[in-house]
A and B are shown apart, each in its own frame.
Chain A
């Protein structure tokens, strides 16, 4: 296990050459589990559970859901970046629940990530969250007071999910409703502080990709291109091992 971990850390170092060597004391809070590992899927009588192992301990990440779910599961054939907080809750599917937890699928393939565990008596999945995909989820809001929007992203990703596209729709709706003179789009690039002390930096171009994509979509949603200003900050945000996922973002500010 130790050996595999060392290899993993070296591998991460290779993929993310920006990661800097850490000193022993220099680490995120002790209740955080920020790591890159192969995800594990465990079948159950109902919905499959997603788990990942770190330093010999198994953690529960979440359940299979739908595109309307809060939690988007990891993918076999890819490693996953886990950023979560340990809870005292009882184990789920054999893993210590992390909550809140943010997972990002690492883009490159890793065929070694291939563990599918069969269903086992006594390791049942909790009931699925009641939320179902409904047409209501696509309905627009009615208030027009909000001016600032934050669009979160997964690590190294500019993919907009079912949920984050709704944020853009809302921003565009309000900008049109208040006849905004200007809309500022600002893209960021973040850093994740891993529990082992290493720092993972997002790709150099990611802030620009995110900002341009959001800008284009706002224009596509009917906002005049001349009203949209698109900027990005290529300098990676600082990290604290806790709020790092929130910094992978694009902000939108509506100025009436």
Chain B
């Protein structure tokens, strides 16, 4: 187990002088003894709960390091612990294509999809890596681990988007190609109006380069719990009223819920894309067996928060049934759960009565559990006016609709959308984005001005001139109405992978909740906000 240190001990260190040092050492020894005893008691009490110490080496796994990834792991984070479950048993990382460098740079998939960070990566971990490796870690590779490959890579400022917001550069060709490789005639033109990184106006990498490219900056999405992400909806795509895209190999409809813009239809396409883009894999395609091994790994790994802040398991007899990685592994896919019978993250009733909880919980722990249960009710049932959200309000539901968070986040266990989940909830488009004004010095993200053709249907709520830092789905479809629509990702392991939203605009869960409060004028009380944050923190 990682030693975070008891904050009280740290305080003694900070204030101590030489005279007190001896006394302090005693205190520390005593503290360690008590802590050790506590740990022993915890282990004994947990018995077969499967908790085990997590070796330091697994806190950050380097590509090619080898070793064994145990079947079950629990990693500490600021809000408790994250559980990771490999249902196929321990994974030998040596020679495994998910864990080995495959391309030209020394990155593996593992580099950006770390078990300790819910198979994504947190900004705190990125900063720590920068400090520990003086910026040499392959995760900072120029290609997409810096603001612009042409900037001096040794400077921290050249990686500010990754270090401040956890964002990787995603370069997408413009105009886009469809799934058969045919050029899509876009309904709008793109102009770069702000380019703090310089990459979009660059003559090699930019929109005017030989291969015109739009660079947007996005968070890595968890490569776990994927049976939910990949489960297909229907033959028709309810968002567009046309047929769902199909898997080129099987001809079967796909989920269209992968990546922030649903550009990849299958995990196979996605793995090829990641290999080419992030790992600069140019020495031919990945061999089939490597792809299959990557997919096999991805399809058996489950993550979810597993322990509370006080070190107590969130999975307890008679408690909520949707928590922890085992519940993720065992859950049913494709359950529409925006109802009160079997809600999105299942039932929290057991935590509604502090008196009915296990007797050995502290008052604080009980209050926390009660707050989580209330947060679930806010998420599921607290109504507000959902307004001007393209691909929700515009698909026949009406604008506005008086509904809840679970209207959009309706899929059981993950909180994604059962249908293809691209929605313009306002995270990347002016004026609802959380960005400084366009001409501010503090600006970090690019701003694009999209101007739509008169003949094309406009964006339903923003019209034909739209300022955005990520056009999202529209970069793939070329459709004006799709500008700023981002595919909602799963909610699991949130505590292990701040910041949030595809553009990293919410530093923590409180900022995420505040975004919604502003965006939809929800008028959440302070208690409701705290409850929502606590609720999201245990998922």
Contact = CB atoms under 8 A, between A and B. Distances in A.
A25 to B, nearest CB: 37
A89 B108 CA distance: 68
B336 interface: yes
Contacts of A162: 236, 238, 396
Interface string B395-409: 111111110000000
Contact of B399 (A76, A138, A221): A76
A231 to B, nearest CB: 20
B446 interface: no
A107 B452 CA distance: 14
Interface in A32-68: 41, 43, 47-48, 50, 64-67
Contact of B398 (A43, A72, A220): A72
Contact of B236 (A64, A65, A78, A165): A165
B387 A165 contact: no
Nearest to B395: A67
Given A107-B457, A169-B235, A221-B235, A73 B398 contact: yes
B463 A67 contact: no
B397 A73 contact: yes
B336 A77 contact: no
Contacts of B458: 107-109
Contacts of A77: 388, 399, 460-461
Interface string B90-114: 0000000000000000000000000
Interface in A76-123: 76-78, 107-109, 116
A159 interface: yes
A221 B394 contact: no
Interface residues of A, number: 34
A43 B402 contact: yes
Where chain A touches its partner, the secondary structure class is loop
A50 B400 CA distance: 10
B385 interface: yes
A75 interface: yes
B393 interface: yes
Contacts of B399: 73-78
Contacts of A47: 402
Contact of A159 (B241, B385, B401, B402): B241
A73 B243 CA distance: 24
B242 interface: yes
Contacts of A75: 393-394, 398-399, 460
Contacts of A72: 396-398
B511 interface: no
Contacts, number: 73
B396 A67 contact: yes
Contacts of A76: 387, 399-400
A161 interface: yes
B234 interface: yes
A47 B235 CA distance: 30
A217 interface: yes
Interface residues of B, number: 26
Interface centre among B241, B385, B396 (most CB of A within 10 A): B396
A160 interface: yes
A16 interface: no
A176 interface: no
Contacts of B241: 159-161, 164-165
A213 interface: yes
Contacts of B463: 109
Nearest to A50: B398
Contacts of B457: 107
Interface centre among B242, B398, B460 (most CB of A within 10 A): B398
Interface in B446-505: 457-458, 460-461, 463
B460 A78 contact: yes
Nearest to B464: A109
A63 to B, nearest CB: 9
Contacts of A216: 242
Contacts of B402: 43, 47-48, 64
A160 B242 contact: yes
A64 B234 contact: no
B398 A74 contact: yes
Interface in A127-161: 133, 138, 159-161
Nearest to B459: A109
Contacts of A108: 458
A67 B391 CA distance: 12
Contacts of A217: 242-243
B461 A109 contact: yes
A34 B314 CA distance: 58
A229 B238 CA distance: 26
A134 to B, nearest CB: 10
Contacts of A48: 400-402
A43 B398 CA distance: 13
A66 B336 CA distance: 13
Nearest to A67: B396
A86 B31 CA distance: 80
Interface in B195-254: 234-236, 238, 241-243
Nearest to B393: A75
A235 B338 CA distance: 45
Interface in A193-234: 213, 216-217, 220-221
Closest 5 CB pairs of A and B: A73-B398, A75-B399, A160-B241, A72-B396, A165-B236
10 contacts: A47-B402, A67-B396, A72-B396, A73-B397, A75-B393, A75-B398, A78-B399, A109-B463, A160-B242, A221-B243
Interface of B: 234-236, 238, 241-243, 336, 385, 387-388, 393-402, 457-458, 460-461, 463
Given A67-B397, A107-B457, 14 more contacts: A47-B402, A48-B401, A65-B397, A72-B396, A72-B397, A73-B398, A74-B398, A75-B398, A75-B399, A77-B460, A78-B399, A109-B458, A216-B242, A221-B235
